[in-house]
Amino acid sequence: MSLQPSLRPLIILGNRNAPHTLDVFLDYVCPFSKKMAGKLDSIVKPLISNGGKYDGKIKVIFRLQTQPWHAMSTITHEAGLAALHASSEHFWPYSLALFEHQDEYFDIPTQDLTIRQVRENLAKLAATVLPSNTIEKFKDLLALKSTPNGGNAVTDDLKYNIKFSRQNGIHVSPSVLLDGLFQSQVSSGWEEKEWSEFLGKAITV
């Protein structure tokens, strides 16, 4: 599957030129997405990177799946995109940190916070992962500076991700496409056995 050039860092695992593509739709405030993200990092990554069995054969694209029934979904995904543009090599580590701290951005813990306060907390989390000289850029990317309803510097990228999900009929997270086709069997509960069997069947070149 294709990506607009500014979002190439959404390729989080594997060789960027690998022939096969796994699109994984995740929401930062979805518990099942957190589980899937952990499995991608601990199980899939060793299989497709750094001399793994399927190194150079398949890449994984993290598709940001904003789900409006989670109040902080938009805000956290904006933060993910800000990390991507502030320090692209730290996008996936920051994403993993967001998943690890996702309960801090659930509805009840954030119900009395302003959006500004939530973004400040997201910047504090970014400061634990991103280089210190990129944090001001991270904050600036999230700042509202245009028209009263014009969003921020990552709004267009957020729209791209949302439109991509809509045109592919993706409704929930996690959802997975293999070379553009929906894979209903893929589960956040999969362990190494299931992932190894799936990749073995999926990779044909």
- The domain spans of the chain are 5-202
Given this model, what pLDDT does residue 201 score? Answer: 94
Contact 188, 174 (CB under 8 A): yes
CATH number belonging to the domain at 5-202, selected among 3.40.30.10, 3.30.70.640, 2.70.70.10, 3.90.180.10: 3.40.30.10
Instruction: Evaluate if pTM is beyond 0.85.
Output: yes
Q: What is the pLDDT of residues 136-187, one digit of tens each?
A: 999 999 999 889 999 999 999 999 999 999 999 999 999 999 999 999 999 9
Cβ atoms of 97 and 130 closer than 8 Å:
no
3-state secondary structure of 41: helix
Cβ–Cβ < 8 Å for 67, 173: yes
Task: State pLDDT tens for residues 67-111.
Answer: 999 999 999 999 999 999 999 999 999 999 999 999 999 999 999
Burial category of 180 from C-beta neighbours within 10 Å (exposed 0-12, middle 13-18, buried 19 and up): exposed
How many H helices and E strands in the chain? 9, 5
Rounded Cα–Cα distance for residues 14 and 12 (Å):
7
Beta-sheet pairing, 20-26 with 58-64: parallel
Kindly report the three-state secondary structure assignment for every residue of 110-158. Answer: HCCCCHHHHHHHHHHHHCCCCCHHHHHHHHHHHCCCCCCCCCCCCHHHH
Model pLDDT for residues 3-53, shown as the tens digit of each residue: 899 999 999 999 999 999 999 999 999 999 999 999 999 999 999 999 999
